[in-house]
Amino acid sequence: MTAVIEAEGLTKYYGPRRGLEDVDLSVAPGEVFGYLGPNGAGKTTTIRLLLDFIRPTRGRVSVLGENPRTGVAARRRIGYLPGELMFEGREKVRDLLTFFADARGGVPARRIQDLAERFELDLSRTIRSLSKGNKQKVGLVQAFMHEPELLILDEPTSGLDPLMQQEFLDMVRAARIAGQTVFMSSHVLAEVQQAADRVGIVRAGRLVAVEKVESLGKRAVRRVEVHFATPVVAADFVDLRGVSDVHVEGTVLRCTVDGQLDALVKALAQHTVVDLISAEPDLEETFLGYYYDNEESSRVA
Amino acid sequence: MLPSLVVKTLRDYRRASIGWLLGISAFVAIYAGSWAQFDANPDAAATATDGIPQGVRDALGVQDFSTGANYLQGTIYSIFVPLLLIMAAAMFGARAIAGPEDARVLDLYLANPISRRQFVLQRFVALTGVLVVLGLVPWLLVSLFNASLDMGVPAANVAAASLGLLLIGVCFGTLALAVSSVVGRRSVVLATTGAIAAGTYVLRVVGDLVGGLGFLRWLSPFHYYLGGDPLREGFDVAYLIVLMLIPAAMLAFAVIQFERRDVST
Ligand SMILES: Nc1ncnc2c1ncn2[C@@H]1O[C@H](COP(=O)(O)OP(=O)(O)OP(=O)(O)O)[C@@H](O)[C@H]1O
Ligand SMILES: [Mg+2]
């Protein structure tokens, strides 16, 4: 099968400033691809290249088998949600959605109505009178309404409350079942993990890792901080399975745990524990830790 | 059926269009309607513009108000209504590309199966449509007052001057579009268009008044509008064709340029 998105050496400089450098990427039909990275990593730059808003400095990209520059008709089969969603004018939600529907060769009014109901969006309001989250819903409705083969979503859940985030993830799952391809950017690993098949991570303009989500799930690096009633010694913890970066200062233990917490918890039980803080697995740490470990082991092998 | 972006653009422009329509109508009706007081009082008509220095009068193409043609030229066609129409055209032209680009919504429109070329062309069609409606106002109202107040200007001459007026509007609207195709900032587009409008107006005046610099007026679109004296001489087909070629060339430039550049966020 030919890839839905295919990039080779894709590079974008904004004048002297790097936006994206040498990205090779391939997204297969029907795949949900999560595109993760910190602020300024190059996620939006990648997406804007896919849609021909900006032109690559070097490299090549094809979307749905077409060069974005010339493949205008292919955009009928793409749904796009901007990362910084803005609107202008005093338009009613319904009028704007009708424009998008007409521009894409028609969408049944029923379909727009259904999506609006699903997101509890009032079509008769003017867009400027909507809250940020409700504007985001307008963006999602227009991206999904023509049932595109490919959805390109830049931080789709920003501004949505948790309930609507779940509603959105349901839509992504439904899209996946329907065979649609999804390319979505995010800062949040957890969100991408729930919906994506594969995750790519960009950092400082480079795609540094691409992994299947299943292989990530089993592994979670956590920072753990434990406060004891009495001082402890580091030696009690350094040899435990999965535990590393052990630091002890008086009654406080800080360490990193990779995978199961079991060994650490059993060791802690020897002491009087006052407080235990376990921070969310850090995205880059998990991901990059995994990536570099794997690279090393394959180099050794 | 009209293309989707033309429909949307006309809907977006509707409110502002109605404002300009009312403004231009009121201006034209008040001035054209005031002809009666000069017609009834030839002395007043002969001296009405004496307060304005001769040089300024020549520059603005204003003579005394002793004939209907002089009066219409001085009050309506030479400066005020073109100014209003050019302002409207520049604003609508700036809203075509630079407006949404400034507001950061342009990518939402361009993500649709509308090519850059189609985007510019459909915006141009909507812009011209609005300007045609605005340009009909002076023609209809002046024709009405010309007939009812016996201004004595041949109907064809009113039509010729009004067509030139419309084309001047289209010229500067398309200029705003052409500037937006290079820089997607509304303020830059409005300032550049305004400066070029003022500059070319002055160019024509200097060309007319300063001996030896006559060639300058050929560089000004205003020369092809009033240089042929349409209210007295009627249609000057060659000049009107030039007034159509100018926006056509700028439209072609806008398409080519907008196809080439990055759209900013
Ligand atoms: N129009 C521009 N002009 C100059 N530099 C830009 C422009 N757009 C982006 N950049 C730079 O390119 C880099 C990548 O930006 P990009 O917007 O792609 O990041 P991002 O991953 O989407 O970040 P975020 O998570 O904050 O949305 C950044 O260093 C940014 O400063
Ligand atoms: Mg971004």
Residues in A closer than 8 angstroms to B117, CB to CB, are: none
Residues in A closer than 8 angstroms to B262, CB to CB, are: 53-55
- Distance in angstroms (rounded) separating the CA atoms of residues B27 and B100: 31
Rounded to the nearest integer, the mean pLDDT of chain A is 88
Is the pLDDT at A297 greater than 60, yes or no?
no
Q: Mean pLDDT across the stretch A165-192?
A: 90
- A69 min Cα distance to partner chain B (Å): 9
ipTM of the complex: 0.88
Backbone φ and ψ for A154, nearest 5 degrees, come out as -100, 110
A156 pocket-lining for ligand 1 (C-beta < 6 Å): no
Residue-range domain boundaries for chain A: 5-213, 221-280
A39 pocket-lining for ligand 1 (C-beta < 6 Å): yes
Q: Is A76 on the interface with B (CB under 8 A)?
A: yes
Q: Mean pLDDT across the stretch A150-170?
A: 90
- Distance in angstroms (rounded) separating the CA atoms of residues A220 and A212: 14
Low-confidence ranges of chain B (pLDDT < 70): 59-60
Chain B residues with CB under 8 Å of a chain A CB are 4-5, 7-8, 11-12, 15, 99-100, 103-108, 110-115, 118, 262-263, 265
> Under CATH, which number does the domain A221-280 receive?
3.30.70
- A226 min Cα distance to partner chain B (Å): 46
- Distance in angstroms (rounded) separating the CA atoms of residues B25 and B29: 6
Whether residue A80 and residue B11 make contact (CB cut-off 8 A), yes or no, is no
Whether residue A88 and residue B112 make contact (CB cut-off 8 A), yes or no, is no
Question: Which of A61, A55, A70 shows the shortest CA–CA distance to A27?
Answer: A61
- Look at residue B150 in the predicted model and tell me its pLDDT: 85
Is the pLDDT at A248 greater than 90, yes or no?
yes
Q: Taking CA atoms, what residue in B is nearest to A101?
A: B4
Is the pLDDT at A301 greater than 60, yes or no?
no
Residues near ion ligand 2 (CB < 5 Å) are A 43-44, 83
Best of A44, A51, A185 for a ligand 1 pocket test (most atoms within 8 Å of beta carbon):
A44
Whether residue B108 and residue A89 make contact (CB cut-off 8 A), yes or no, is no
Is the pLDDT at A296 greater than 50, yes or no?
no
- Look at residue B113 in the predicted model and tell me its pLDDT: 95
Report the residue from B12, B104, B107 with minimal CB separation from A89. B12
Residues in A closer than 8 angstroms to B100, CB to CB, are: 88
- Look at residue A298 in the predicted model and tell me its pLDDT: 45
Report the residue from A52, A87, A102 with minimal CB separation from B105. A87
What is the full DSSP assignment across B183-252?
---HHHHHHHHHHHHHHHHHHHHHHHHSTT-GGGGGG-HHHHHHTT-HHHH---HHHHHHHHHHHHHHHH
Whether residue B5 and residue A103 make contact (CB cut-off 8 A), yes or no, is yes
Report the range out of A217-231, A257-271, B190-204 with the highest average pLDDT: B190-204
Alpha-carbon dihedral B1, B6, B7, B12, rounded to 10 degrees: -170
Contact (Cβ atoms closer than 8 angstroms) between residue A142 and residue A100: yes
Q: Is A288 on the interface with B (CB under 8 A)?
A: no
- Distance in angstroms (rounded) separating the CA atoms of residues B114 and B120: 10
B264 pocket-lining for ligand 1 (C-beta < 6 Å): yes
- Look at residue A292 in the predicted model and tell me its pLDDT: 52
Report the residue from A44, A54, A102 with minimal CB separation from B4. A102
N-terminal to C-terminal alpha carbon distance within chain A: 32
- B96 min Cα distance to partner chain A (Å): 12
Contact (Cβ atoms closer than 8 angstroms) between residue B76 and residue B30: no
Tell which atom from ligand 1 comes closest to the C-alpha of A14.
Answer: 4
DSSP B156: H
Interface of A with B in 126-165 (CB under 8 A): 139, 142
* Banded model confidence at residue A257, pLDDT cuts 50, 70, 90: confident
Q: Mean pLDDT across the stretch A291-298?
A: 49
What is the full DSSP assignment across A185-245?
EES-HHHHHHH-SEEEEEETTEEEEEEEHHHHHT--EEEEEEEESS---THHHHTSTTEEE
* Banded model confidence at residue A195, pLDDT cuts 50, 70, 90: confident
Q: Is A88 on the interface with B (CB under 8 A)?
A: yes
- Ligand 1 center to residue A48 CA distance, Å? 10
Question: Which of A116, A115, A188 shows the shortest CA–CA distance to A147?
Answer: A115
Superfamily of domain A5-213: P-loop containing nucleotide triphosphate hydrolases (3.40.50.300)
Smallest CA separation from ligand 1 atom 7, residue: A14
Is the pLDDT at A300 greater than 50, yes or no?
no
Q: Is the dihedral of CA A79, A66, A3, A22 positive or negative?
A: negative
Is the pLDDT at A123 greater than 80, yes or no?
yes
Residues in B closer than 8 angstroms to A105, CB to CB, are: 113
Query: Token digits for B174?
Result: 């398309």
Q: How confident is the model over B143-165, as pLDDT tens digits?
A: 999 989 888 899 999 999 999 99
pTM of the entire predicted model:
0.88
Whether residue B105 and residue A72 make contact (CB cut-off 8 A), yes or no, is no
Residue B51's contacts (CB-CB under 8 Å, 6 or more residues apart) are none
Best of A45, A155, A157, A192 for a ligand 1 pocket test (most atoms within 8 Å of beta carbon):
A45
A148 pocket-lining for ligand 1 (C-beta < 6 Å): no
Residues in A closer than 8 angstroms to B112, CB to CB, are: 75, 100, 103-104
Q: How confident is the model over B39-87, as pLDDT tens digits?
A: 777 777 777 777 777 777 776 677 778 788 888 988 899 889 999 999 9
Beta-carbon contacts below 8 Å between A and B:
71
Q: Mean pLDDT across the stretch A214-222?
A: 69
Specify the 3-state DSSP secondary structure of A130.
coil
Position of tokens 């959605």?
A97
Q: Return the residue in B1, B11, B106, B107 with the most chain A beta carbons within 10 A, the one to mutate for interface testing.
A: B107
A41 pocket-lining for ligand 1 (C-beta < 6 Å): yes
